[in-house]
Homo-oligomer: A and B are copies of this chain.
Amino acid sequence: MSSPTTGRRRGPSKGDLRERAILDTARELLRRKPLAEITIDELAGGAQISRSSFYFYFDSKTAVVVALLHGLSAEVSRDTGPWLDGTGPDRAALRQSIASLAALWRDHGRLLTGALAAAPGCPPIAEWRAGLRRGHVERLTARIERDRAAGLAPGGPSARVLAELADDLQLAAFAGATDPEGLVDDLVTVELRMMYGDLPPEEATVGAP
């Protein structure tokens, strides 16, 4: 799918451009209508090719979606790092992690909503989601266990289940929200409560007195 014949650099091939054009068109259309209402005709049209030419670049609409989706994964796992790799009820770190998720939903809500709706009955998308979730759950599980071992968090549900519920909650909260960003602080509070129980607001930050 990529570039030069020799070591010498040359611009992206015509095909590479078309491929990008399709992706761009998809992003563009998603700004205006839900994923389910986007047709391959439109994708092709937006990239100035016929519908059948579309299939030269992607196997199906799903393939396009997956491509878009993969562009987001990196960002997510980067911004959640500080929180997931940290220790204790670090409100600031959690806030940053959740805020970045909120931004993601703000910018790509239609894509995410559509993809998630299509996931059952669409293996590649389901896999993408499963991978992301697995990553989050595993790191969060480990974090909870660290905190418990250090006496920083109370017992209760198994760390894994707790992590899964936290993941579920984030997803559902943003999927339904009209204003993801407005939800961030409350989500942070709730998630901290889920894991640590009720904390006096003073302790709910990095350095406790």
Q: Which residues of A contact B (CB under 8 A)?
A: 34, 36-37, 113-114, 116-121, 154, 156-158, 161-162, 164-165, 168-169, 171-173, 176, 183, 185-187, 189-190, 193-194, 196-199
Contacts and interface: CB of A to CB of B under 8 A. Distances in A.
Contacts of A121: 34, 36-37
A197 B194 contact: no
A114 B119 CA distance: 11
25 contacts: A34-B120, A34-B121, A36-B121, A116-B117, A117-B120, A154-B198, A156-B186, A156-B189, A156-B190, A156-B193, A157-B186, A157-B189, A157-B190, A158-B186, A165-B169, A165-B173, A165-B187, A168-B172, A168-B173, A190-B194, A193-B193, A193-B194, A193-B198, A196-B198, A197-B199
A34 B194 CA distance: 33
